[in-house]
Amino acid sequence: MTYPHAGAARPYLFNDRTVEGYRRAMAAGTERVAERIRRADRPFSGVSPERLAPEIAAIDLERPLHDHAAALDELERVYLRDAVYFHHPRYLAHLNCPVVIPALLGEAVLSAVNSSLDTWDQSAGGTLIERRLIEWTAGRIGFGPAADGVFTSGGTQSNLHALLLAREEAHAIAGAASSRLRVITSEAGHFSVRKAANLLGLGPDAVVTVETDADRRMRPAALARELDRCRRAGLVVMAVVATAGTTDFGSIDPLPEIARLCESAGVWLHVDAAYGCGLLVSRRRRHLLDGIERADSVTVDFHKSFFQPVSSSAVLVRDGAVLRHAAHHADYLNPRRMAERGIPNQVDKSLQTTRRFDALKLWLTLRVMGPDAVGELFDEVVDRAADSYALVAADPRFEVVTRSPLSTLVFRYLPPEGPSKLADDANLYAREALAASGEAVVAGTTVDGRHYLKFTLLNPETTLDDVAHVLDLLAGHAQRYVDDLAPLADHSEVTHVHS
Ligand SMILES: Cc1ncc(COP(=O)(O)O)c(C=O)c1O
């Protein structure tokens, strides 16, 4: 449909007179995505930024197409054709899950209705639904009736929010200056903890990392030593951040021991369960989170292990009263008198103002599938990761770091001989070459200064055959590097696939 005359923009507004256009546009969009998903025979096309950037740069944003179908055709070329598809069983890279259909339905509904969850008067039932889900999640954690929380954009924001509350509590209790505040986490903790400390104006030395054991779990003895050292140095530990599901190793810090140390030192315990929160609905593995109920705050990322589309995360606190540290009452939006009258304004608890009704996705997931079904999907990927570990551990081509209680696998190809730099370069090359082929996507990381490859299994559709096939592909690329490319390189730099 084209609208050549002046005032032609009106039909694009979504309202009672344009619902037919809305139906058609949404159906067309859904159809494109459905076809892409149905036809995707690999997780990625292997496109390089150099090839794609000119196509996007060439589009004249001043000249609209006036047509949904034409815009979707163009989108095929600049996005859908080359997107990275997390639903594909050989996408094994980062903490991106395939998503469940009830959540996609929620996404479509929430963006069309477009509630904003800052205030009751912009959301009504949306606010109450979010509150029910916070209550439900707090119940799964094992918090008592005083618990509360709020949905956030992701684990990074949830961690920042929790540490803001911890800092304010430390100021209130100890009156400590920011430069004396410390946050203790493990070597395997997420970088967002350090980012949060920076944003909170703590000094460059504020985050102290303590060592992990062979399974990459925080050592309680090292934590005890650090707590003691800080106390003797006149420093105030404002929070210990334990991780329930470290990004690289899926390791879960020993929560009961850490909770005991925090309780006896009077220190705020934050549990970053961005990844491990899927265990909250696991019937077989919930016990791995034992001790989480003793935390002061918890991060959960439904968009990692609850099969939810980005974004869907929450921060929860054992004592809801602490959320007041993030509150600000603006006359135009949420004046104090509203709080006094009990009007539920979530902005009183959130770092954001205008905020998506992301909770609706989880709501529809629970209402259609139920929590056990989500837990079963997560249990399946954890099972698959255990089988994959056994596969790699028995394969002489590879060396594996540790057995994850969740669903990651960190390993590397070991060339039959050669310096350790050769192994580094071969693994770096293998990862890149595999992504360029598009046949599979895997991640990488460093362990003790050496380059490793990483699988993050979050797709129950990934079979052990898929894993074995990707291992063969990686070994093939790595050995090709050793045989053909390394002799040509001076070893000062790995040969890049796109260079
Ligand atoms: C343990 C952990 N915490 C926090 C985050 C940050 O979460 P987000 O990417 O949702 O901001 C991640 C992301 O991978 C994570 O693995």
The CB of 180 under 6 Å from ligand 1? The reply is no
pLDDT number for residue 264: 97
CA 289 to ligand 1 center in whole angstroms = 17
Phi/psi region, residue 418 (left: phi>0; alpha: psi -120 to 50; beta: rest), is: left
User: Which residue among 304, 308, 315 has the greatest number of ligand 1 atoms within 8 angstroms of its CB, and so is best to mutate?
Assistant: 304
The whole-number pLDDT of residue 5 equals 56
- Helical axes 359-368 vs 101-113, angle rounded to 10°: 140
Give yes or no for residue 308 CB within 6 A of ligand 1.
no
pLDDT of residue 418: 73
Q: Token pair for residue 363?
A: 């709501």
314 ligand 1 Cβ < 6 A: no
Q: Average model confidence (pLDDT) for the chain?
A: 95
- Hey, what are 18's tokens? 């344009």
Asked if pLDDT for residue 201 goes beyond 90, the answer is: yes
* 472 CA distance to ligand 1 middle (Å): 30
pLDDT in tens, 111-144: 999 999 999 999 999 999 999 999 999 999 999 9
Q: What is the pLDDT of residue 491?
A: 52
> How far does the centroid of ligand 1 lie from the alpha carbon of residue 186, in Å?
15
When pLDDT is averaged across residues 217-228 and rounded to a whole number, the result is 98
- Using the atom order of ligand 1, give the atom closest to the CA of residue 303: 10
Q: Is 247 in the pocket of ligand 1 (CB under 6 A)?
A: yes
Q: Which of 292, 469, 301, 445 is nearest to 378 (CA)?
A: 301
Q: What average pLDDT does range 367-395 have in this prediction?
A: 98
Q: How far apart, in whole angstroms, are the C-alpha atoms of residue 42 and residue 88?
A: 7
Q: State the pLDDT at residue 499.
A: 37
Indicate if the pLDDT at residue 348 is higher than 50: yes
CB of 243 sitting under 6 A from ligand 1: yes
What is the mean predicted confidence (pLDDT) over 417-421? 80
Task: Assess whether pLDDT exceeds 90 at residue 30.
Answer: yes
The rounded radius of gyration (Å) of the Cα atoms in the chain is 25
Report pLDDT digits (tens) over 38-52.
Answer: 999 999 999 999 999
Q: Is the pLDDT of residue 430 over 80?
A: yes
Q: List pLDDT tens digits, range 455-487.
A: 999 999 999 999 999 999 999 999 999 999 888
% the chain with pLDDT above 90: 92
Ligand 1 pocket, residue 312 CB under 6 Å: no
- Report the separation in Å between the CA atom of 200 and the middle of ligand 1, taken as the mean of its atom positions: 18
**pLDDT in the model for residue 498:** 46
| Ligand 1 midpoint to CA 142 (Å) | 22
Beta strand ranges found along 217-294 (DSSP E) = 236-243, 269-273
pLDDT on residue 419: 75
Q: Which atom of ligand 1 is nearest to the CA of 94?
A: 14
Q: Separation of 44 CA from ligand 1 center, angstroms?
A: 23
| Distance from residue 153's CA to the centre of ligand 1 (Å) | 11
Q: How far is CA 333 from the centre of its chain?
A: 31
What DSSP assignment string belongs to 468-480? HHHHHHHHHHHHH
